[in-house]
Structure 1
Amino acid sequence: MAAKQGGAGKQSWRRSEAAQGLTMIAPPLGYALLVLAAPLATILAYSFFRDGYLVVEPAFTLENYKIVWTDPIYRSVMLRSLIVSGLVTLVTVLLAFPVAYYVSFYVRPDRKALWLFLITIPFWTSYLIRVFLWKVILGYNGVINSGLKALGIIDQPLTFILYNVNSIVLTLAHAYAPFAILPIFVALEKIDRALLEAGRDLGESRAMTFWRVTLPLAMPGVIAATLIVFIPTLGDYVTPQLIGGGKIPMIANMIQSQMLDQDNRPLGSALAVTAMLIVAVVSAVFLFLNRRFLKVRQ
C-alpha cells in the first residue's frame, strides 16, 4: 500500500509544473555548469596547487595566495587595476547619464528607438577593431597629432596622449559607454513624470527637482551601469596591452603572463581567484546600495 502511494506521488510530481519546468531548464543548466562552473572549479583547484619543475604538483598549499597578497609587484598591479577600472567607470557613467537623460526626456517617443539603435552602432564592429582605431587616433602620427600639426599648433607629435593611463581610460570609456547608457535610460523611463511636475508646482527649480527627485529615482540604473562597466574593465587585457603599449600592465595582463608566458598556472589561478573575490565584494556593496535605493522608491 505504501509502495503504491509512493509510486503515485512520484507520478504526480512528474506531472507537476515544477517537474516540467526542471525538465525544460535541465539542458541549458547542464550546459552552463559545463561551460562556466567547470572552468571556475578548475582554476580554484589550481590556485591551491604547487608549481613544480615542468609539472604542476597537486599538493594543497596557500603559498600562491601568500605571494599574491604580500608581493609588492602584484599588490601594485591589483591596486592600479582597481584605480583604472574605477576611473573608467566614473568617466563612463558621467558621460552616459546626460545622453540617457536627453533621450529619455527630450527625444520624442517615436524617435527613441532610433536613438537607441544609433547608440548600439559601435557593437557592429569588433572590440579589437575599436581599440585599434583609438590607437590610430591617438598615435604619434595619428589623427589628433596630424590635425594639430596641420593647424600649426604643435611642431612635434604629442607623446602624452598614448601609452599611458589616460589613453586606456578614454578607450575603455568609449567601448563601454553603450553598456552604461542603456540601464540608465531604462531607469529614467520608469520615473513618473507627475512627480517632476509636482516638484515644480511646489516651487522647486529644475536643478533642485533633478537633484531631489530625478537622480535618486534613477540611482538603480546608475548602480547597474556601474557594475556593468566596472566588472569587465577590471579583467580587460587587450586595451592595456595595445593602448598602454604593455607599459601599464593590469591584473589581467599579469594573469595572462603567468598562465602562458611563464607557465605558472597555480600562481595565475591564484591571481584570477583573488580578482574574482574583489569583484564579488565590490558587486555585493553596489547590490546592497541598489536594494537601499529600491526600498526608498517603494
Structure 2
Amino acid sequence: MINESTSSGALGGTRIFRGAMLAPGTIVTLALVLFALFLVLFLSIRINDGSLLGAGASLQNFIAILTDPLYGLVVLRSLTIAGLVTLATVVTAYPVAYYLAFHAGRRRSLILFLVTLPFWTSYLLRVFAWKIVLAYNGVLNSALMLSGLTSEPSTLFLNTPSAVVLTLAHAYAPFAILPIFVALDTIPKSLMEAAADLGARPFTTFRRVILPNSMPGVLSAAIVVFVPTVGDYVTPALVGGPASTMIGSLVQAQFGKANDWPFGAALAVVVMLVILAVVLIVRQADRMFGSRT
C-alpha cells in the first residue's frame, strides 16, 4: 500500500510539473498566435466602413481578390520569386552543409560560427547593404567601370526581381544550411561504409545513400525559406521596385496607407491558404522521398 501510494503521488507530482512547464507556452500560443489568427479571420469577412473592426459580415473581400486579375498576378509573382529564392538558397546551401557534415573536421565550429554570424546583424542592415552594392553608383557598377567591362553605370541590377531574389537568398541562407547540415550529420556512417564495401563509387554513394537520407532536411530548409519569403514586403520595397511588388507589399499597404483592414486581412488569409497548400505538397514529397534508413 505504501509503495502504491508513493508511486501514485510521484506520478501526480510529475503530471503537475509537466503541466506547470507547459502552461507558459500554451498560454502564449493561445493568447498571441491563435487569437491573432482568429482576429485576421474575423476581419477578413468584415465590410470596411472606416471603423477598426468594420461593419457587417460579407465575402466581398474574397470575391474582389478572386475576380481581379491584379491580385492573381501578384500572387503568382510572389510564388515565383519565393520559389526562385528557395531553389537558389537550397542549391547553394547544400554544398556548404555537406562540407560541414563530412569534411570540415576541426574547422566545423568556426564555419558554423561564420554561418550564424549574419544573425548578429539587423535584417534591414543586410538589405541596405545589398542596395548599396547594386545601386546605380554602387559597388558593383563601380567595380565594373574600373575593370573596363562597362563604360557607364547600369540600371539592370537594382529595382529588379533578380535583386529581390539575390537579396532574399543571401538573407535566408543560414536558415537553409542548418537544417540540411543536421540531416546530413545524422546519417549513420555505417551506411556509407557499407556502400563503399559493396563497391559503390563516391558519386553513387552520394546519389543512392546520402541524398535520399538528407531529403527531410532539404525539404525542411525549403519550407523554412519559402514561407517567410512569400509574404516579405521589406526587400521588394527597398531593392525590387514596382515590377517586384509581392503580396506582402499589398497586405502592408492595406493595413497602412489604404486603412482597409478587412481587405488586408482577406489578402493575408489568401496568403496563408497558398502557403498551406505548398506545405501540404512538400509534406507529400517528404513521404515519398523521406529518409530510407
Q: TM-score, normalised by structure 2?
A: 0.92
Pairing 1:36-185 to 2, within 5 Å after superposition: 36-52=33-49, 56-108=53-105, 110-185=106-181
How far 1:70 moved relative to its partner?
Answer: 1.6
* 2:12 corresponding residue in structure 1: 15
Match of 2:214 among 214, 218, 228: 218
Query: Residues of 2 paired with 1:26 and 1:141: CA distance?
Result: 54
Deviation string 1:52-106 (CA, Å, 9 cap, x unpaired) is 2566533121111111112101110011000100000000000000011111111
Name the amino acid aligned to 1:20.
Answer: F
Query: Residues of 1 paired with 2:139 and 2:197: CA distance?
Result: 50
Query: Residues of 2 paired with 1:65 and 1:251: CA distance?
Result: 14
The runs of 5 or more residues in structure 1 that have no matched partner are 1-10
* 1:297 corresponding residue in structure 2: 292
How far 1:180 moved relative to its partner?
Answer: 0.3
How far 1:281 moved relative to its partner?
Answer: 1.7
- Structure 1 residues 187 and 14: alpha-carbon distance in aligned structure 2, compared to 1, 3 A threshold: closer
Name the amino acid aligned to 2:25.
Answer: P
The runs of 5 or more residues in structure 2 that have no matched partner are 1-7
Query: Residues of 1 paired with 2:20 and 2:179: CA distance?
Result: 32
How far 1:19 moved relative to its partner?
Answer: 3.7
Name the amino acid aligned to 1:269.
Answer: A
Deviation string 1:105-140 (CA, Å, 9 cap, x unpaired) is 1111x3212211111111111000000000000111
Deviation string 1:136-186 (CA, Å, 9 cap, x unpaired) is 001111111001111111111111111111110000000000000001001
Q: TM-score, normalised by structure 1?
A: 0.91
Matched, 1:26 2:20: no
How far 1:256 moved relative to its partner?
Answer: 0.7
Identity among equivalent pairs (%): 45
* Aligned residues: CA RMSD: 2.0
Matched, 1:206 2:214: no
* 2:265 corresponding residue in structure 1: 269
Deviation string 1:33-54 (CA, Å, 9 cap, x unpaired) is 2122212111110000011256
Pairing 1:248-263 to 2, within 5 Å after superposition: 248-263=244-259
